[in-house]
Amino acid sequence: MTDPFALTEDQLAIQDMARRFTADAITPHAAQWDEKHLFPRETLRAAAQLGFGGIYVSEESGGIGLGRLEAALIMEAMAYGCPSTSAFISIHNMASWMIDRFGSDALKARYLPALVPMDMMASYCLTEPGSGSDAAALKTRAVRDGDHYVVNGSKQFISGGGENQVYVTMVRTGEDGAKGISCLVIEKDMPGVSFGAQERKLGWHSQPTAQLILEDARVPVENLLGAEGDGFKIAMIGIDGGRLNIGACSLGGAQRALDEAVAYTRERKQFGKAIADFQNTQFKLAEMAAELEAARALLYLAASKVTNEAPDKTRFAAMAKMIATETGSRVVDRALQLHGGYGYLMDYPIERIWRDLRVHSILEGTNEIMRLIVGRDLLRD
């Protein structure tokens, strides 16, 4: 950004490219993906051909080496067509970046040439059946056995579970608490790796979600990211960007809902005139637009802080995620109300967006945890 209010020419070009790709390859198919629970692998790989499989993976590792604001622009643009598909690409990017940032040269050489074009796809595995918000209490344990770790435990709600080939997984190698957590790159076909049944979800139907099950899984020691005990730090650094991206997905879905509401209220007539002509409708649309722009401004600011490693980057990422996801859901809910009974039908995109955005206040850290992060950081100052 050249100033707090303007995107650069390069950023505008990236945004335009993502919007054009979405209009051509995502928006026309999103309803079918949702209704039939289709995982659009080829569309994902087509996105990767534009560089969207390694958005902030370094150029040295084959990525396009962009910042977090550029990533947010891409996620927002793709979520306009399908928040679920955009969120899947976000998670893949987060996991791939973690390998690039914290992996050895050998590990990067092994995985990134296939991850960047999305020939292989990656999942981020932190949550467990018994530890969600209290992530540092995770129980999955990895015990050193020669040149391997033997891993036992399970990971819950894994996007790409059972379909993706690579799982960046937080495990316990030491003491209780955050300091005993390490990060391993686990492959789908390693001995002892299996998956639960596909989850039956309210939304996010275009991506698979399943439990990752590890039963005496043998993972090479060389698949360790960073050092033993670095896992929680790595997870939290990675999730700052994930929070920005999921907030951006909410913005994109909400913008689509607002645009649909504007078009619908212009066409829909009641009491002899378009419902857009009623002042009550105009007030609602105005509030939706204003709240969306305010959330977008905060998210773009937070993205710039994360890119620049600002001292308050985590606080701003948490605030942006909280505000963008809650604003997005409110905007979509109002758009559905403006559609009346038609908004409840699958013939219109509003109900799908409403379902997809609902989980954004839960994943990447619940919004209650976002409030804790912000409050504690303010009091620490």
Told to judge if 287 belongs to the known catalytic residues of this protein, a careful annotator would answer: no
Of the residues 76, 228, 260, 364, only one is catalytic, namely: 364
Burial 148-159 (b: 16+ CB within 10 A, else e): bbbbbbbbbbbb
Question: 273-274 and 148-159 as β-strands: parallel, antiparallel, unpaired?
Answer: unpaired
Q: At CA 34, angle to CA 133 and CA 132, rounded to 5?
A: 5
Distances 167 to 63, 264, 303 between C-alpha atoms, Å: 19, 43, 25
Question: What token pair was written down for 235?
Answer: 């997870």
Q: Are 243 and 321 in contact (CB under 8 A)?
A: yes
Q: At CA 36, angle to CA 19 and CA 96, rounded to 5?
A: 50
Q: At CA 297, angle to CA 295 and CA 303, rounded to 5?
A: 100
CA–CA dist 86, 294 (Å, integer): 22
CA–CA dist 167, 188 (Å, integer): 7
**What residues are annotated to the active site?**
364
